[in-house]
Amino acid sequence: MHRRPLLAIALAALAGLALEQPTAWTVGVIVSRTGPASATGVLQAHAAERFAASVASSGVFGTPLQVDVRDDAGDPARAAALAAELVADGAAAVVCCTTTTATQRVAAELEASGTLLLALTPVDLEGTTRTFALAADDRTRLTAIAVDAAGEGKTSLALMTLATPFGDAAIAAFERALADAGRTLAGEARYPADAAVLTPEALWIATRQPGAVVVWGLPLDLPRALDALRARGYEGHVYARPEALPAWLLERARIGGGAPRGDGDPWTGVRVPLTPAALADRLPADHPHHDAVAAFVGRVLAGDPNAASPADRAVLAQVDDALVWLRAGMEQVAALGLDDGANVRRQALRDALIGLPTQALAAGAYAATDADRRAARWQGLVVARVGPP
């Protein structure tokens, strides 16, 4: 005759336990699935959705982790509005965006609400405290180049870049990178944006015989610079800005010593800083990022690194990295047993990411401090060599 009271007590106890379960974690992802930048945005959305599927059963120590992917259609104003909606819905952090303009608008929106932003594009960190930049900036990439050159005994480096504001920024970044790596500047040659040949600039560089030359310009500038340098007798290392290298040429990128230059092929031997994911099918088993890249390939590419091009793998991996890093931070917060209030979680998550050791992931290595929220570190880049055709 006591069955009903006992059953009622048990059900009430279970209901109480259910009420005490931690609130689900939510991360917003804002990308341009449609619009002018959709070629990249579709990849970013795919990476976010595949990550979400991979953690559907585990979450954060059993607490559900929801990844809310939203489309800004290439409109920065819409991106900012979506960010505000995600904040209102309790998102602990936001990962965005496909375009730099949208990222900047979202950064301002999230700063006002105290919500963490992991930025996928270059972003101005001035005046922000909640934005972490995941995209390696020029200083970071040039530091990786300077360290690589130093590893081969090249103590002096020269720079070829545009005689434009772009070139001004490149020189400033190059000087800081050389200081970071303890290298010296052998000189800089500037050329106009409409230059069809770079003969005088290459001659000026070649006569100084630096240990290495860095060509930091536009896609058409690089082959012109390579031809001019070789014609003027320069036989040293040439490093290039990744965006200047044709996407198809990344298939020839390799890790290790430089290969002999191919007859009539200006590209062979060119060195370029890449993300580990771009070299997913070529990373040796003992590489520091090998396991992270393999895990990314399993989550996002169904185990086949060649299911996407090297350039596409870099895009996919960056989003996956953002979510992996955030989940590691969430686990730190959960372990502390803090209150589940949205604002408490947001602050705790930011502090957790700053407190985490450097994360060696698929698209790079990440660490942040209050003083430096340029999270992408040069140690996470791989300076690869273009092999012969």
Q: In what order do the strands lie in the sheet with 365-366?
A: 359-360, 365-366, 376-377
Q: How confident is the model at residue 337 (pLDDT cuts 50, 70, 90)?
A: confident
Do 69 and 164 lie in one domain? The reply is: no
Q: How confident is the model at residue 257 (pLDDT cuts 50, 70, 90)?
A: low
Averaged confidence pLDDT in the chain:
91
- φ, ψ for residue 303, nearest 5 deg: 85, 0
The answer to the question of residue 202 being in a domain is: yes
Q: Is the pLDDT of residue 213 over 70?
A: yes
Q: Is 45 helix (H, G, I), strand (E, B) or coil?
A: helix
Q: How confident is the model at residue 21 (pLDDT cuts 50, 70, 90)?
A: low
- Best CA proximity match to 185, nearest among 152, 151, 160: 160
Say how many CA atoms lie within 13 Å of 329 toward its Cβ.
29
Say how far apart CA 224 and CA 70 lie, in whole Å: 42
**pLDDT score for 263:** 60
The answer to the question of residue 89 being in a domain is: yes
Say how far apart CA 158 and CA 117 lie, in whole Å: 36
The answer to the question of residue 226 being in a domain is: yes
The structural domain count of the chain equals: 2
Domain-ending residue, one of 244, 273, 308: 244
Do 126 and 191 lie in one domain? The reply is: no
Q: Is the pLDDT of residue 93 over 50?
A: yes
- Best CA proximity match to 372, nearest among 132, 159, 147, 199: 132
242-246, 265-269, 344-348, 376-380: which has the minimum mean pLDDT? 265-269
- Residue-wise pLDDT for 39-68, tens only, equals 999 999 999 999 999 999 999 999 999 999
Structure tokens at 25: 């974690």
Do 116 and 37 lie in one domain? The reply is: yes
First-last CA distance in the chain = 86
The answer to the question of residue 272 being in a domain is: no
The domain of 148 spans: 139-244
List the CATH number of the domain containing 202. Answer: 3.40.50.2300
Q: Give the rounded percent of residues in the chain with a pLDDT score beyond 70.
A: 93
- φ, ψ for residue 340, nearest 5 deg: -85, 5
Q: How confident is the model at residue 15 (pLDDT cuts 50, 70, 90)?
A: very low
- Residue-wise pLDDT for 117-147, tens only, equals 999 999 999 989 999 999 999 999 999 999 9
The answer to the question of residue 2 being in a domain is: no
Residue 225 burial by Cβ neighbours in a 10 Å radius (0-12, 13-18, 19+): buried
Say how far apart CA 274 and CA 363 lie, in whole Å: 9
Q: Is the pLDDT of residue 25 over 60?
A: yes
Q: Is the pLDDT of residue 18 over 60?
A: no
**Calculated CA dihedral for residues 29, 32, 79, 26, nearest 10 degrees:** -10
Structure tokens at 321: 């990295």
Do 129 and 46 lie in one domain? The reply is: yes
- Best CA proximity match to 65, nearest among 56, 74, 75: 56
Report DSSP state, residue 342: H
Do 206 and 181 lie in one domain? The reply is: yes
When pLDDT is averaged across residues 95-103 and rounded to a whole number, the result is 98
The answer to the question of residue 356 being in a domain is: yes
DSSP 300-327: HSTT-GGGS-HHHHHHHHHHHHHHHHHH
Do 126 and 143 lie in one domain? The reply is: no
